[in-house]
Amino acid sequence: MEKRARFAATLFLTASLLAGRDESAGGDPSGQTPPLPRVGVITLKAEAVTISQELNGRVAPFAIAEVRPQVNGIILRRLFEEGSDVLRDMQLYQIDPALYEAQLNRAEAGLAKAKANVSVAEAKLARYRRLIQAKAVNQQEYDEVEAASKQAEADVGIAEAEVRLARINVDYAKVRSPIAGRIGKSLATQGALVTASQSAPLAVVQQLDPIYVDIAQPVSWVLELQESLRAGVLQNTGESHAEVRLTLDNGQAYGERGKLLFADVTVDQSTGSISLRAEFSNPNHTLLPGMYVTAILDLARKDDAIAIPQRALFRDAGGEAFALLVAGDGGVERRRVVPLRALTGKWLIGEGLSPGERVVVDGFHFIRFAPGGPAPRVEPVEAEN
């Protein structure tokens, strides 16, 4: 009896272990098929997209003028407030005009003397005309009088030029702004001696509205874009000037949109880039010269584009790009694709995908491909892009 009891216990233990092993191996004691894993998918559709590029840019003034003296002298007064807006031809400094006013007075006196000499010479010439007709003087004397009259008239012209020059110097003693804009700090003070040949400016005026943004674009990107346009993969935006948007250094978008004016024809040998220049309205002077910004250029478009979220694009060990597609029966296919360009949160796909197909965007960890085995099956659920 004791042997039979031990034998029965052994059979029971063996059966229990076998049953446990079957359950751990995935067997379902109820005989039901386990549910398919759920994955998020999106159904592809053609859409129009704009090809944009983000580039670093630097703000430059629309116009800049260094204010320099054009005559020598002592600065008597500064007539502007530093950091203020000035108008064109607004007086900024007053240089001591005493010397130039004296020169003007002397030039005006010389002009009056020259005009008086003309009157005397013309009267004498009139007399000699009568005398030459009466043959009371010889031809040589008449010619000398006539030449003296013409010389007196020439002296008037010289005197008038000297008066104009003297008046210009008097006016130059009033140092004016050559352009309208915002003036910086004064680099010369009252009482300072300035000269017309000095290299240092008295102040700098910069025009800030409108304003320029200079951008450097890699030449490799330009060549790639041109090739895509020639091949018909992308189309021109159709605008005479590409639109440019800005993001400021604090991450905020600049409210005004600008236009691309031109692209340089020379490649910078040190950076391998082409210089671009855009013009922006700057009514509130938010953009200041020297400020770094991010420029966003809309350069091309594609009307029937296929784009997928960036998280839905994978690369294998060889660098080949692929995406996971779900067929109508729930089978998962790994499809090779050709990404053209990264968009905002998406990849623009050139080859490999078509409208109406479903691409996996969530739940990738549920999908396992067995070498040589059947395609894994899932339950697709529409997800948001």
In the chain, % of residues over pLDDT 90:
43
Q: Could you check whether 51-62+206-302 and 97-172 share the same CATH topology? A: no
Q: What is the pLDDT of residue 16?
A: 39
- State the greatest distance between any 2 C-alpha atoms of the chain, in Å, as a whole number: 184
Kindly state the tokens that stand for 367.
Answer: 């999908």
Confidence at 10, pLDDT banded by 50, 70, 90: very low
Instruction: Determine the average pLDDT of the residues in 12-34.
Output: 45
**C-beta atoms surrounding 114 within 10 Å:** 19
- Res. 9: pLDDT tops 90: no
pLDDT given at position 234: 54
Identify the pLDDT of residue 22: 41
- Which one is predicted more confidently, 33 or 196? 196
More confident residue, 110 or 13: 110
| DSSP-derived secondary structure for 76-111 | EEE-S-TT-EE-TT-EEEEE--HHHHHHHHHHHHHH
Kindly report the CATH number that applies to the domain delimited by 38-49+305-382.
2.40.420.20
Given a contact cutoff of 8 angstroms between Cβ atoms, the answer to whether 215 and 57 are in contact is yes
Per cent of the chain over pLDDT 70 is 85
CA-closest candidate to residue 301, choices 47, 68, 36, 5: 47
CATH 2.40.30.170 fits 51-62+206-302, yes or no: yes
Which of 12, 34, 22, 49 has its CA nearest to residue 385?
49
pLDDT in tens, 259-283: 888 777 777 777 778 888 889 999 9
Name the token pair of 187: 């680099």
Overall average pLDDT of the 58-82 stretch: 94
Is 114 or 273 the better-scoring residue by pLDDT? 114
To the question of domain 97-172 being in CATH 1.10.287.470, the answer is: yes
Q: Are 347 and 354 in contact (CB under 8 A)?
A: no
pLDDT band for position 230 (cuts 50, 70, 90): low
For the entire predicted model, the pTM comes to: 0.64
Q: What is the pLDDT of residues 342-368, one digit of tens each?
A: 877 888 888 889 999 999 999 888 888
Q: Which of 242, 220, 227, 233 is nearest to 298 (CA)?
A: 242
Mean pLDDT for the stretch of residues 76-105: 94
What is the mean predicted confidence (pLDDT) over 97-110? 95
Average pLDDT for the chain: 83
**Which letter, b or e, does each residue of 141-173 get, where b requires 16 or more Cβ atoms within 10 Å of its Cβ?**
ebeebbeebeebeebbeebbebbeebbebbebb
Lowest-pLDDT choice from 87-101, 129-143, 167-181, 317-331: 129-143
Q: State pLDDT tens for residues 285-324.
A: 999 999 999 988 877 777 888 889 999 999 988 889 999 9
Q: 121 phi and psi, to 5 degrees?
A: -65, -40
Please state the domain extents for the chain. 38-49+305-382, 51-62+206-302, 69-95+174-200, 97-172
Architecture of domain 69-95+174-200: Beta Barrel (2.40)
